[in-house]
Amino acid sequence: MMTFFSEQSFRRQAATELHGSTLVAPFETPRRMEIVLEALARAGLEVRAPGDYGLEPVKAVHDAGYIEFLANFWPAWQAEGRTGEAIPSIWPARTLRSDRIPRSLGGKLGYYALAAETSLCEGTFEAALASKDTALAALDHVLETNEPSFGLCRPPGHHAATDQFGGYCFFNNAAIAAQRALDRGKKRVAVLDVDFHHGNGTQQIFYRRSDVFFASLHGDPDVTFPYYLGYADEIGEGEGEGFTANYPMPPKTPVSVWMQALEKALVEIARTECELLIVSLGVDIFEHDPISTFTFTRDDFTALGERLAKAGLPTVFLMEGGYAVDDIGVNVVSVLQGFEARGGANA
């Protein structure tokens, strides 16, 4: 399976994450990519660098003011004499106005953030651009060859909404790829999010549309980040009603139960006659992941790949979460090899 990865993804070297009540080194670290690349090499999978797709595909999904904010924030932050990484401290919450964007950097930071755990630092914008280039190169490979591909995206993307960052995500790679697939002629695309955390950004972007079917299998938002989205009664609105499906599950959900939810999602993907499958591949469903509570083993990831192959659709895998760093490479490759072993979409 062809893999795409950009060395520019290493440009983001954040040192700070607000975890609970403590500032810690981020769980989303460049080392994750190094481990996956090592595992891909051992498996004999070819890795290519993506081309530069520019900002137009991003503008098709994200708000122009938000893009400008990310592009210009770090130089402006430094110009104000700030020496540390930027963490938002206030938001336009329910009792405040959300129709005005403050001129101050601190105000803008809170306006465009959905959570406080993800800092902004040097290289963030450049890494986000590289990540979406990776996703688009993987998507184009599938469209042009009908062979599956893997985009080793960093930063991840599924928490990024139209005009908000958070959960380590800045541009929504899966949404950008889905929109490009539609622009290139696909009538309907499925985005299947198997990350432990709900793909709130992807859902928000497509919630009122019927040309993208979004399904997410994730931890119960009553007790799991990002908390405020991902309940089972969220099924889309207006034209998009029936084109969103959420499968929230409690901590320590058995893999057998998780797989039953996957079967339901795949039935819905078939029902909605999707022509392409984009998998938001989070391997933080692993039993030893430090910030997740599902129970997958290495063999379960192989079984996941095998089951996705049976969907019989052209398939793009895009990297999302996975924070058990020592195991992330093996787990990712297990999914890809399981998919290829079943001959997924002409693998």
> How far apart are alpha carbons 302 and 294 in whole angstroms?
16
Q: Quick check: is 218 catalytic?
A: no
The DSSP line for 177-201 is: HHHHHHHTT-S-EEEEE-SSS--HH
208 burial (CB, 10 Å; 0-12 / 13-18 / 19+) is middle
Please tell me which residue in 62, 158, 159, 218 is annotated as part of the active site: 159
> How far apart are alpha carbons 184 and 162 in whole angstroms?
21
Residue whose structure tokens are 């022509």: 275
> How far apart are alpha carbons 27 and 46 in whole angstroms?
27
Q: How many CA atoms are closer than 13 Å to the CA of 94, on its beta-carbon side?
A: 0
CB burial of 63-97 (b: ≥16 within 10 Å; e: otherwise) equals: eeebbebbeebbeebeeeeeeebbbbeebeeeeee
> How far apart are alpha carbons 52 and 38 in whole angstroms?
24
Nearest alpha-carbon partner for 166 in 18, 323, 33, 333: 18
Taking CA atoms, 142 is separated from 225, 328, 347, in Å, by 32, 24, 11
DSSP 8-state assignment for residue 170? S
What is the end-to-end Cα distance of the chain in Å, rounded?
7
Backbone angles phi, psi at 213, to 5 degrees: -95, 125
Distance of CA 122 to the CA centre of its chain: 21
Catalytic residue positions, numbered:
159
